[in-house]
Structure 1
Amino acid sequence: MSTDLPIRKIIHVDMDAFYASVEQLDNPDLKGKPLAVGGDGKRGVVSAASYEARKFGVKSAMAGNLAAKLCPDLIFVRPRFERYSEISKKIRAIFYDYTDLVEPLSLDEAYLDVTDNKKGNPSASLIAKEIRERIFNEVGLTASAGISINKFIAKVASDYNKPNGQKTVNPEEVLSFLEQLDIRKFYGVGKVTAEKMYQKGIFTGLDLKQKSLEYLDSNFGKSGRYYYYIVRGIQNSEVKPNRIRKSLAAERTFSENLSSEIFMLEKLKHIADEVSRRLTKSKVAGKTVTLKIKYSDFTLQTRSKTLPYFISDKSMILDTAKDLLFQEKLNNSVRLLGISLSNLNTETKKKPEQKSVSVQLRFQF
């Protein structure tokens, strides 16, 4: 690593099978059993799977009926997002004991910048270990962590010793770590991109590093520059403690396909109610209403309308969604409808000062 490259001590904490683990925590009879959070019907989808279920190939976003075939003893439970949010807040409170630079990615994972932390502890690895121990002792759940000089490497590292483990990638180890990394492990490289890279002889970070910026730009578009720098350990993205919400949404998947707009109006009413409730809870309003339509053939369509004023009232959301629904003829029968509000009236808050530290021999991880 270049000695004048800004460097931070970043921890990525990732809860282990969070939703499923909360269910097992609240119901001891479920411990040690294959568990899926989500629906088991023909339209059900797995939101999360316990490690016992994952051994059978069950994973999130999988159809419930397929999961049941892979694991005949699979137990399905309905998600309880209010409970998951409650537990998440307790975990987040632990994070804030160490730093104000906490960037939640979801209920079950977050970045922490501990370069200049509240405990005065120079070791990010020891801080991560202490945080994981506190989560287990105070909440009753296990967490994994990755520790390194930037968010990308920390996130990749957090998946290395799951569950209930951690991995530190020290500054002097960064380049060799990335060169040996399977391209599928690179955060931001999806299944389709990985297949494309394989076809071009790119299997590891070292293979990727040997490609020029021009080559990557030409073959992977805007992402090419990202791949070029990330494989060299270069990422200057700061931990953003005050991430501004850009949209808020709710959607429903139906047990039977709907073929007429008339049948969809009652469904839209319930969805609009939920969006309005979430807006009120978050104390925000928005100008742009988007109607999401997923057809029976799984094709997706969105229709949007931007109003000259902010709204959060359910009747106004519903009226706009109705206009969008009748805007044009449906392409097919519908399996899912969703409503989202964007262009929100959120204001940027001043975030805590974030310091950069140059690489030094005494820099302790």
Structure 2
Amino acid sequence: MTKFPRKIIHIDMDAFYASVEQRDDPSLKGRPLAVGHGARRGVVAAASYEARQFGVRSAMPSTTALRQCPQLVFVSPRFEVYKAVSRQIHEIFADYADLIEPLSLDEAYLDVTANRAGLATATDTAKEIRARILAATGLTASAGVSYNKFLAKLASDQRKPNGQFVVAPGKGEAFVQTLPIGRFYGVGAVTEAKMKRLGIHTGEDLHRQSLTFLQQHFGKSGPWYHAIARGEDHRPVNGERVRKSSGSETTFETDLTDPAAIEAEVLALADKVWGWCETAQAFGRTVTVKIKFADFQQATRSRSAPGPVSHREHLRRLGRDLIGSVLPSPKGVRLVGVTVSNFQAAPAERLPQPALIG
């Protein structure tokens, strides 16, 4: 812990991929838009706010998205453009903080305790960063300002889009108690459902539980839930964090049985993981797909390439092959995940893209 409260800003771009597309094609502004492929086996990589009003979300199969929003417009992703915009944004961050922890192409933590910019408050710093992002890219960002990472991330979602929110020192515990448990970073869909079965619906409900109770029901995660219910998070912003893997997973509202829908989810997760790999310039040799079935049995399938997986399509192909090895499944699938591991130093020049089969 630091002697004085840290000043942490969490910056999160608003509907990043979709907003870039609407910026570059004015005819798309104000229309429900999905970045992805609208073909039968396509998947939504990102959705505009107009599309989200119809329930369209990232990682949703395109056929489902079109049923919910027949007027939905699909545009193919342009990852090189998103990466270039991300570089612009991170160059702005560097003017305000030495400690910057990127989470993806479109969000990061900044520790501005040292006040490099000489502004009066962290709130003013966040406002200036957002204004500079808008001027440089034509895109809006939301910000959360607080004294730890957990609260700053919660706060950045409080006034989306194009807003910011501050949780001042001493106010975190009260703020957390007002929130539904599903808003908590680190509480996924399965954990949320379990908490609700235990009568935990809000931060206030979580606060009432003892550490012993939380450890009994949530194991090693119990101390984390006990701490965040009190607005506590002592993790520093770590700009030099060395990660051994990068992964993402999703739990479905209803178990999936359609092989095409399951594959589409895996491809969406592969795209999300690839975004982190590109930002961090960290490329691993090993790709793993995790599957949890309706009966909670779990399986993993892994494959290691001779060298780093340094192209998005290579990662997608490996993900497709790995999930294909367990499909069709005789039982429903409730969760899938994709992880890249066994990182190696980023190659000086990107390896040639492997030939795609099929």
- Normalised to the residue count of structure 2, the TM-score between the two structures is 0.75
The DSSP-based 3-state class of the residue aligned with 1:171 is coil
1:79 positional shift: 0.7
In structure 1, which of residues 77, 85, 95 is the aligned counterpart of residue 83 of structure 2?
Answer: 85
1:343 aligns with: 342
* Whole-angstrom CA distance in 2 between matches of 1:190 and 1:24: 30
1:133 aligns with: 131
Compared with structure 1, are the counterparts of its residues 218 and 132 closer, same or farther at alpha carbon in structure 2 (3 Å cutoff)?
same
Q: Give unmatched runs, 5+ long, in structure 1.
A: 250-255, 259-270, 348-365
In structure 1, which of residues 103, 112, 134 is the aligned counterpart of residue 110 of structure 2?
Answer: 112
Counterpart residue identity of residue 46, structure 2? A
The DSSP-based 3-state class of the residue aligned with 1:194 is helix
1:41 positional shift: 2.0
Counterpart residue identity of residue 141, structure 1? L
Compared with structure 1, are the counterparts of its residues 175 and 188 closer, same or farther at alpha carbon in structure 2 (3 Å cutoff)?
same
1:179 touches 1:209 (CA, 8 Å); kept in 2? yes
1:188 aligned onto 2:181? no
Compared with structure 1, are the counterparts of its residues 333 and 157 closer, same or farther at alpha carbon in structure 2 (3 Å cutoff)?
same
* Whole-angstrom CA distance in 2 between matches of 1:66 and 1:33: 18
1:63 aligns with: 61
2:218 aligns with: 220
Counterpart residue identity of residue 189, structure 2? K
1:13 aligns with: 11
In structure 2, which of residues 12, 23, 26 is the aligned counterpart of residue 25 of structure 1?
Answer: 23
Counterpart residue identity of residue 213, structure 2? Y
* Whole-angstrom CA distance in 1 between matches of 2:339 and 2:201: 38
Which whole-Å deviations, capped at 9, do the CAs of 1:174-207 have from their partners, x for residues lacking one? Answer: 1210121211111111122112111212121111
1:34 aligned onto 2:32? yes
Which whole-Å deviations, capped at 9, do the CAs of 1:219-275 have from their partners, x for residues lacking one? Answer: 1111111000111122110111123343479xxxxxx979xxxxxxxxxxxx9xxx9
* Whole-angstrom CA distance in 2 between matches of 1:339 and 1:231: 29
Compared with structure 1, are the counterparts of its residues 244 and 208 closer, same or farther at alpha carbon in structure 2 (3 Å cutoff)?
same
Compared with structure 1, are the counterparts of its residues 294 and 139 closer, same or farther at alpha carbon in structure 2 (3 Å cutoff)?
same
Q: Which has the larger radius of gyration?
A: 1
* Whole-angstrom CA distance in 1 between matches of 2:150 and 2:222: 16
1:197 aligned onto 2:195? yes
- Normalised to the residue count of structure 1, the TM-score between the two structures is 0.74
- Percent of pairs with identical residues: 49
Counterpart residue identity of residue 344, structure 1? F
* Whole-angstrom CA distance in 1 between matches of 2:282 and 2:327: 36
* Whole-angstrom CA distance in 1 between matches of 2:46 and 2:234: 32
* Whole-angstrom CA distance in 1 between matches of 2:133 and 2:155: 19
* Whole-angstrom CA distance in 2 between matches of 1:183 and 1:238: 24
* Whole-angstrom CA distance in 1 between matches of 2:259 and 2:211: 47
In structure 2, which of residues 90, 96, 99 is the aligned counterpart of residue 98 of structure 1?
Answer: 96
1:292 touches 1:300 (CA, 8 Å); kept in 2? no
Which structure has more relative contact order (CA 8 Å, sep 6+)? It is 1
The DSSP-based 3-state class of the residue aligned with 2:171 is helix
Which whole-Å deviations, capped at 9, do the CAs of 1:271-323 have from their partners, x for residues lacking one? Answer: 9xxx9xx89x948665xx3454879x9x985344779xx84499xxx9xx99x
1:35 touches 1:50 (CA, 8 Å); kept in 2? yes
Compared with structure 1, are the counterparts of its residues 133 and 282 closer, same or farther at alpha carbon in structure 2 (3 Å cutoff)?
closer
1:345 positional shift: 3.8
1:49 positional shift: 0.6
Compared with structure 1, are the counterparts of its residues 285 and 26 closer, same or farther at alpha carbon in structure 2 (3 Å cutoff)?
same
Count of matched residue positions in the alignment of Structure 1 and Structure 2: 307
4+ residue segments displaced more than 6 Å: none
The DSSP-based 3-state class of the residue aligned with 1:13 is strand
Compared with structure 1, are the counterparts of its residues 205 and 291 closer, same or farther at alpha carbon in structure 2 (3 Å cutoff)?
closer
1:172 aligns with: 170
